[in-house]
Chains A and B, each alone.
Chain A
Amino acid sequence: MPLLAVNDLTRRFGGVLALNGAEMRIDEGEIVSLIGPNGSGKTTFFNCLTGIYRPDRGNAFWGPGNRDLAGLPPYAITRLGIARTFQNIRLFGRMSALENVMLGGQAGDRLGVWQNLLTLPRAEAGEAARYERACGLLELVGLAQRAADAAGALPYGLQRRLEIARAMATLPKLLLLDEPCAGLNPQEIDALMALVREIRARGVTVLLIEHSMQIVMQVSDRIVVFDAGAKIAEGSPEAVQRDPHVLAAYLGVPENA
């Protein structure tokens, strides 16, 4: 059974059909890339999967527990094991890097008001464990030395990595990365791809939105191509690169074809 099976996902904004019957299957342990021209529905797809938008039609079956994610609120989806980053970085800029990650670490926290107010032992133990885990994740993304810095004051490249650490803190089975390489220089991109592989090695499945074919070729097991809100191709990096539909979507169709 796949980790995630999306069928016929459709979302309309007024007259624009942002998603038009999108499909996708993701198996456990894969790194899958989602590519497509601007406006092809990639980010809308993420937003529907994570509950930020409610799809007009279709479903997304989550393997563990075989639940339909469509229509669930974002926090419930996160607690089921799907975490994400944002294309336009959305950190809590006034919090320290460490606290950003610790916030992710309390995703499943259901402590009551009194537990919180009185710092009862259970709440305190939870915070101590979260602290350790957050430190470990900051180390993973190379931010251990910047733990006390305000997230908003970090350089752009580090903010991208901090967002990944924060998402990882929610203990996801599936990590959705929305253009994590946007705005990074080549060295930073290489380091980020190494991080993505390391994350997969830790047992987390990765779905990546990316524009650059080069990046996608390096890291993906499989590539899914969207155009106009629907899947037009899928397969190994090499196969997708030669696919006539993909070439047409990216480069246009010659007049005399």
Chain B
Amino acid sequence: MSPAGSSRFAGSFASSLAGLLPFAALLLIPAATANPYVIFVITAALFYSMVALGLNVIVGLSGIWQLAQAAFLAVGGYTAGFLAKEYGISLWIGIPAGAVVAALLSILLALPTLRLRDEYLMIATLNFGIIAQILMTNLDQFTGGTAGMSAIPPITIPWWSNDAGLTLTGAVRPDQQYYVVLIGFVVTWLIVKRLQASPMGRALRAMRDDEIVAQTMGQNTLRLRLIAFAIGCGLAGLAGGIFVARFQSISPAAAGLNNSVLYLAMVIVGGSGNLLGVIVGASILSTLPELLRDLEKYRLLVYGGILVATMVFRPQGLFPERMRSYVGGRAIPAARQGER
């Protein structure tokens, strides 16, 4: 059997970059509309998509139930904010540093707990999130307490504009916020996409579907769980840094359990394991409150309704994970119908 019709291109790094082309249209959005509200809504959708894509590595790809994603996001945000405020370190360095700190912290959490299974591990992450939020509230000297950090020096895109993308009051302009979030989204998307298409991604899916068999196929699943958890939490930290760059502030509320649950809902509603689905899920659940402004009071009710409806009518999500039709850079030769 020859790898018929194969192209070395498919599945390669270059093809992941090519997959970004549709997103290129996103570059033009601020030019297409002057309405800051529209830009705000799209920025929020992109931001939540980035968060959900990172969580998808843990939940969708690896089957680990994670209820502390918001806490790791906040860790990244506080790290970037702290470095910028106390040491004047640029957010361009602070944001990756926040991602690294979140990843390292996740490894510390994972080492004693990743041997736990399913719901027990979920309880462990739940507790970690609560403890993290309490620490952020009470370590005033580092975090600014309940009020959090504000007036964090803004991120500047040097070649972008003379006023460094700030409004007269010193806030980050909507279009600049948008581009910062877009950068974070693209980086996250590339990492998640590459991981999913790699041999390690295959091993993760195998582990998720049947851990014992994955082990008898030579996979050290404890190591795999650790890596997936660290990558997912690192991406949460990255998103936290982007959050800080966007709002110049962060507070313990960002680490809240309600946020972790919201991120989880985005992954599940969209279709855990399917990147496009995850983006759609995040966009829907982040835009919905804007569309339902009048129903503000019932927001949580609507969320709950959507989640329940998803679990009942489409448990695999709006866009279920699809089987990979190419591997190792080649298309899988499809069965010839006549020979069946």
Fill in one digit per residue for B200-236: 1 if any A CB lies within 8 Å of its CB, else 0: 1111011001101111111111000001000100000
Residues of A within 8 A of B198 (CB): 116-117, 119, 123
A75-B219, A78-B217 known; A116+B209 contact, CB < 8 A = no
Residues of A within 8 A of B219 (CB): 75, 103, 106-107
Residues of B within 8 A of A170 (CB): 217-218
Residue of A nearest to B12 (CB): A119
A116-B198, A124-B12, A145-B339 known; A90+B218 contact, CB < 8 A = no
Residues of A within 8 A of B220 (CB): 73, 75
Q: Which one of A8-16, A79-87, A196-204, A236-244 is at the B interface?
A: A79-87
* Residue pair B216, A103 in contact (C-beta under 8 Å): no
List CB contacts (< 8 Å) of A62-93 with chain B.
73-75, 78-79, 83-84, 86, 90, 92-93
* Residue pair B218, A147 in contact (C-beta under 8 Å): no
Size range of the interface on A?
Answer: 35 or more
Say yes or no: is B42 at the interface (Cβ < 8 Å to chain A): no
Say yes or no: is A182 at the interface (Cβ < 8 Å to chain B): no
Q: Which of B1, B214, B231 has the most CB of A within 10 A?
A: B1
From the candidates B202, B205, B231, name the one contacting A113 in the complex (CB within 8 A).
Answer: B231
* Residue pair B325, A148 in contact (C-beta under 8 Å): yes
Fill in one digit per residue for B310-340: 1 if any A CB lies within 8 Å of its CB, else 0: 0000000000010111011110111110011
Give the Cβ gap from B17 to chain A, nearest Cβ, in Å: 11
* Residue pair B215, A75 in contact (C-beta under 8 Å): yes
From the candidates A79, A93, A131, name the one contacting B3 in the complex (CB within 8 A).
Answer: A131
* Residue pair B335, A123 in contact (C-beta under 8 Å): no
* Residue pair A83, B340 in contact (C-beta under 8 Å): no
List CB contacts (< 8 Å) of A125-178 with chain B.
126-128, 130-132, 135-136, 138-139, 144-150, 166, 170
Residue of B nearest to A136 (CB): B1
Give the Cβ gap from A234 to chain B, nearest Cβ, in Å: 26
* Residue pair A104, B328 in contact (C-beta under 8 Å): no
Say yes or no: is A94 at the interface (Cβ < 8 Å to chain B): yes
Q: What residues make up the interface of B, taking CB atoms closer than 8 Å to A? A: 1, 3, 12-13, 191, 194-195, 197-203, 205-206, 209-210, 212-221, 227, 231, 321, 323-325, 327-330, 332-336, 339-340
Q: List 27 A-B contacts (CB under 8 A).
A: A52-B212, A74-B216, A75-B219, A75-B221, A78-B216, A92-B206, A92-B209, A96-B323, A96-B332, A98-B332, A103-B202, A103-B217, A107-B217, A109-B218, A111-B199, A116-B194, A117-B194, A119-B12, A123-B198, A124-B329, A126-B199, A130-B328, A132-B3, A144-B333, A148-B334, A148-B335, A170-B217
